[in-house]
Amino acid sequence: MKSLLIAVKDAKIHLKDRKAILMMILMPILLTAILGSALKGVMGGGSMPETVLGVYSPESNAMTENIIQTLEAEGLAITVERAGTEKQLMDWMEKKEVHVGLVLPEGWGVDTDRAVIIPIIGQESSSLIIQQMIETFAQMSQTIEHATKTVMTEAAVMSANGAEIDMATIQYELAESVEKVVNEQKIYVIEPAKEESVSSMQYYAAAMAAMFLLFNAMVGAKSFHQERKTETLSRLMMTPTSGHSILAGKFIGTFLFAWVQFLFFMGATHYLLQVDWGSSNLQVFFITFFYSFAVAGLSMIVAAFTTDEKMADVVGSMGVQVLALLGGSMLPLAVFPEALRKIAMLTPNSWALTSFTSIMTGTDWSALWLPAIVLFGVGILSIFISSFRLRAV
């Protein structure tokens, strides 16, 4: 009960701090709106940047060569690389040597299988533009082919019958042929089935939530040093309150404020920015519980290994920025090299971020147990280390 009273007191102090409200609640909402809108090109939806297109076709024909030449035209910002085999193309994509892959079937044309276009993550907008260009080219080619056949057939029939070529009849037949082709709206290019991805606004909502909840580690530590400086902590120790109860109260206070911060942020992004947090709020709260637990534990670590408020501020700020950068809050984890993606798994915020984005696209409860266990482990280990450190100090 004493720990809970201390926790409620700390949470109230944080909520009354205007600077804390600005930093911890309003700032992440503002950054989500800015980053989510400005970086649509990274997550899909925007004009096409310089793009390397990898193409594989087992057997070329006139239509294949024409579309490749069209894509290579100046001013389109597309560089075409021809792969000798489909495996080579897939290797290029895995190593990110090309941005978009295009597999053209043998003798690609109107009556063959559809071409397959495959973007790497982050290049969906370029893939869509290239796909639209190919569809338009193929539609025009089919139209020209039908028009030519119509003209030649009608002219041949009239010549064979000894009649004069009737341009009005040919024009009528040509118009009908073109209209038929246009109305058919055949699909020439498809994308392989893939998992649903989050929008830029969704990603940065999850990223900012993970990042700014980390700031509670700094705030909780500064609160501890502030009370020690003003001798509030000493007065508490003189009461019939154990040191463990005081530490537990500080821990719970940070945990409660993190919860309030997230609930406000989630509601604001949902109603103001129309961010879809997924179909299960219970899953979101489940991960938030364990992430807040980990953050509260980290606040005890910062308090234990710093000597005053200023040091806690510097160490906490630097730590949050490094973890945010490595954990994917600044740039999407998908654009990281493989080595950095493995390092990101050492940061608690990356586990929270990937869990939030998985929930947004729809995931099973079984996929959330590992992140929850990792975050719980971070919190428990932090409490264990900080309790011994603070006891020694």
The confidence score (pLDDT) of residue 285 equals 95
Q: List pLDDT tens digits, range 204-232.
A: 899 899 988 888 777 766 776 666 666 65
Strand, helix or coil at 235?
helix
d(CA 372, CA 378): 10
Give the residue from 113, 126, 107 showing the smallest Cα distance to 54.
Answer: 126
Q: Where are the domains of the chain?
A: 2-38+198-392, 43-190
243-272 and 281-304 helices, crossing angle to 10°? 140
In sign, the C-alpha dihedral spanning 33, 34, 37, 40 is negative
Domain covering 43-190: architecture: 3-Layer(aba) Sandwich (3.40)
Reported as a pLDDT band with limits 50, 70 and 90, residue 45 is very low
The confidence score (pLDDT) of residue 182 equals 45
Q: Is the pLDDT of residue 239 over 70?
A: no
Please state, as a whole number, how many other Cβ atoms lie within 10 Å of the Cβ of residue 347: 21
| Burial status of residue 188 (CB atoms within 10 A of its CB: 0-12, 13-18, 19 or more) | buried
| Mean pLDDT within 362-380 | 92
In sign, the C-alpha dihedral spanning 328, 332, 338, 340 is negative
The confidence score (pLDDT) of residue 220 equals 65
| Mean pLDDT within 132-159 | 63
Which DSSP category does 279 fall into?
A: S
Spacing of C-alpha 262 from chain mean position: 19
